[in-house]
């Protein structure tokens, strides 16, 4: 079965600073990968998904971007963080029809 790693676990960043969150997956190859954000009281929102290396689809216009430089690596980035970027960021991997989630990164933008 897959194992999903995310780091860092928590992050506090000032407004306007850059961001890089990393997700790596073990135990599978050529997976679909996803970034979700969970903002307080707003449920989970799909940000990006990728069906292969270099293939990124964005679901919500925003100041975030994603990249997939390797088959099992998915990176979420921002050049300048906004206060509204605070939240809990979850990486997920699809295996057949199921999705498995990583432990998440708690981002606080101050």
Partner 1 sequence: AQSVTQPDIHITVSEGASLELRCNYSYGATPYLFWYVQSPGQGLQLLLKYFSGDTLVQGIKGFEAEFKRSQSSFNLRKPSVHWSDAAEYFCAVGDSNSGYALNFGKGTSLLVTP
Which residues lie near partner 1 (CB under 8 A)? 32, 34, 36, 42-46, 49-51, 57, 59, 90, 92, 94, 97-104, 106
In the complex with partner 1, the residue whose CB is nearer, 13 or 45, is 45
Token readout for 71 is 């088959």
Q: How far is 85 from 7, CA to CA, in rounded Å?
A: 17
In the complex with partner 1, the residue whose CB is nearer, 12 or 15, is 12
Q: Give yes or no for a contact between 74 and 33, defined as CB atoms under 8 angstroms apart.
A: yes
Alpha carbon distances (Å) from 101 to 13, 83, 95: 24, 25, 11
Token readout for 65 is 């971007």
In the complex with partner 1, the residue whose CB is nearer, 7 or 16, is 7
């Amino acid at each position: 079965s897959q194992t999903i790693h995310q780091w860092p676990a928590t992050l506090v960043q000032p407004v306007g600073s850059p961001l890089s969150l990393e997700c790596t997956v073990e135990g599978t190859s050529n997976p679909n990968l996803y970034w979700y954000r969970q903002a307080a009281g707003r449920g989970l929102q799909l940000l990006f998904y990728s069906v292969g290396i270099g293939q990124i689809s964005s679901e919500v216009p925003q100041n975030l971007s994603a990249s997939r430089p390797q088959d099992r690596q998915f990176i979420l980035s921002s050049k300048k963080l906004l206060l509204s970027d605070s939240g809990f960021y979850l990486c997920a991997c699809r295996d057949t029809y199921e999705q498995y989630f990583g432990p998440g990164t708690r981002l606080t933008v101050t």
